[in-house]
Amino acid sequence: MARVQNKLTDARCKSIDKPGVHGDGEGLYLRVKPSGSRSWVYVWKRDGKRREMGLGSYPTIGLAKARTLVSQHRLDVAEGRDPIQDRRKEQEPSFGECADLFLGSMEVRWRNHKHRAQWRMTLENYAARLQKKRVSEVDTDDVLAVLKPIWDTKPETASRLRGRIERVLDYAKARGWRIGENPAIWRGHMKNLLPPPRKLTRGHHSAMPHRQVPSFITSLRQQNGVSARALEFLILTASRSGEVREMSWSEVDMPALIWTIPAERMKSHRLHRLPLTPRCIAILQEMDRLRSSDYVFPGQKKGRPMSVMAFTMTMRRSGADDYTVHGFRSAFRDWVGDETGFPREVAEAALAHTIGDTTERAYRRSDAIERRRRLMDAWEDHCSMEIA
């Protein structure tokens, strides 16, 4: 007995007020919700399982159009295709588009501008061959193709790249654009295809020995330019690169000899006050005479801070590129421990490190600014010991 088709009419579609699904035949149904809204669905079975696919709302999609769509999808099903998967592929983004969506969802949580820029640069430059490929089609061979060329020569970059690709593909799976295992995952997969990441021979943050810092400071003071003054200021305050590069005049209290870094610019997300030593004040006075914006150490572009590469290039010009800028914080901490009697908590406070448990921190509400001033004065004396 033949199936009844075309049971619905336009008049019937408009007049139905009973919630539920109302069949037209050939798997086409009009779904009516209690609110009165109407939409089309196509229902079929595959491997004994019921499948359902939305076709759009009524009357935006009319009865005739809905029947045409169902005829096309019935043909797809008969030829072994899955209309739902086909539609997902049509709507599915490329890897590059998916990466943009992922970064857009995460960047509000990443307060560090450098971190955000590094994510984008790594994926765009080193994973360029993945950018236009459908995110569901990225496989193990694709991941290996971008990792192998830099796995031995740039181990740190390669390791970060693998992790970032893994995060993007996890995001794609969560959005329904991928199924199955992540081809960039390390444990149980990439670990079996690539050698262990080679550790950098000089360490992640190789620190200049504190006994060499005075001679390095001497060479810095012989150089002209904003970056040399900024790097010396960074060393004397034991600060992080971003804290100094984005330092603004509004953060400086010259009468009180204090630099206050707001919480949103700190790694710990807590406000940090630093005592300014005599040499720090001299550097600030020199920069004040060159003031062109609210940035204490302005970059080459008007109204912009120094480049993230400025300190690296200064280290290179000084013949100290075996060491990292961040390593000066380690040099400071080693000097405190090896050469002075200042308490550990004062040194840790100078580095804006969180120390002690919650109870201990609750009782220690002072930031020990004056004790730290004596410490930073002593550090400046050490750094300037070769200055005539």
- Residue 127 sits in the same domain as residue 67: no
pLDDT of residue 278: 96
Q: Is the residue at 206 inside a domain?
A: no
Q: Is the residue at 345 inside a domain?
A: yes
> What is the rounded CA–CA span in Å between residue 331 and residue 238?
9
- 300 versus 84: the higher-pLDDT residue is 300
> φ, ψ for residue 19 (rounded to 5)?
-60, 145
- Residue 187 sits in the same domain as residue 223: no
- Residue 275 sits in the same domain as residue 343: yes
- Residue 183 sits in the same domain as residue 314: no
> What is the rounded CA–CA span in Å between residue 170 and residue 105?
13
pLDDT band at residue 372 under the 50/70/90 scheme: very high
CATH number at residue 183: 1.10.150.130
**Digit-coded pLDDT (tens) for 129-176:** 999 998 889 999 999 999 999 998 888 888 889 999 999 999 988 887
pLDDT band at residue 59 under the 50/70/90 scheme: confident
Share of the chain above pLDDT 70, in %: 88
Q: Is the residue at 167 inside a domain?
A: yes
- Residue 15 sits in the same domain as residue 132: no
Q: Is the residue at 297 inside a domain?
A: yes
pLDDT at 380 over 60: yes
CATH number at residue 326: 1.10.443.10
Angle between helices 327-339 and 369-383 (to 10 degrees): 100
Last residue of a domain, one of 29, 60, 83: 83
Last residue of a domain, one of 58, 83, 108: 83
pLDDT of residue 86: 64
pLDDT of residue 367: 62
**Digit-coded pLDDT (tens) for 191-201:** 999 988 765 44
Q: What are the beta bridge partners of residue 14? A: none
Contacts for 1 with CB less than 8 Å, ≥ 6 apart: none
pLDDT band at residue 346 under the 50/70/90 scheme: very high
- Least reliable range by pLDDT among 100-104, 334-338, 364-368: 364-368
> What is the rounded CA–CA span in Å between residue 152 and residue 213?
32
Report how many domains make up the chain: 3
pLDDT of residue 206: 78
- Residue 228 sits in the same domain as residue 364: yes
pLDDT at 364 over 90: no
Please check whether residue 237 is in contact with residue 283, taking contact to mean a CB–CB distance below 8 angstroms: no
- Residue 231 sits in the same domain as residue 360: yes
- Residue 288 sits in the same domain as residue 335: yes
- Residue 233 sits in the same domain as residue 288: yes
- Residue 248 sits in the same domain as residue 372: yes
Question: For the purposes of burial, counting CB atoms within 10 Å of the CB of 269, is it exposed (0-12), middle (13-18) or buried (19 or more)?
Answer: exposed
Share of the chain above pLDDT 90, in %: 43
pLDDT of residue 1: 42
> What is the rounded CA–CA span in Å between residue 262 and residue 255?
19
pLDDT at 91 over 80: no
Q: Is the residue at 197 inside a domain?
A: no
Q: Mean pLDDT of all residues in the chain?
A: 85
- Residue 111 sits in the same domain as residue 176: yes
Q: Is the residue at 45 inside a domain?
A: yes
Range of the domain at 250: 213-383
- 81 versus 326: the higher-pLDDT residue is 326
Q: Is the residue at 26 inside a domain?
A: yes
Where would I find the beta strands (DSSP E) of the chain? 20-25, 28-32, 38-46, 49-58, 252-253, 258-261, 272-275
pLDDT at 363 over 70: no
CATH number at residue 34: 3.30.160.390
> What is the rounded CA–CA span in Å between residue 203 and residue 219?
24
Q: Is the residue at 316 inside a domain?
A: yes
- Residue 108 sits in the same domain as residue 241: no
**Digit-coded pLDDT (tens) for 265-321:** 998 889 999 999 999 999 999 999 989 899 999 998 888 898 888 998 898 888 887
Last residue of a domain, one of 133, 162, 192: 192
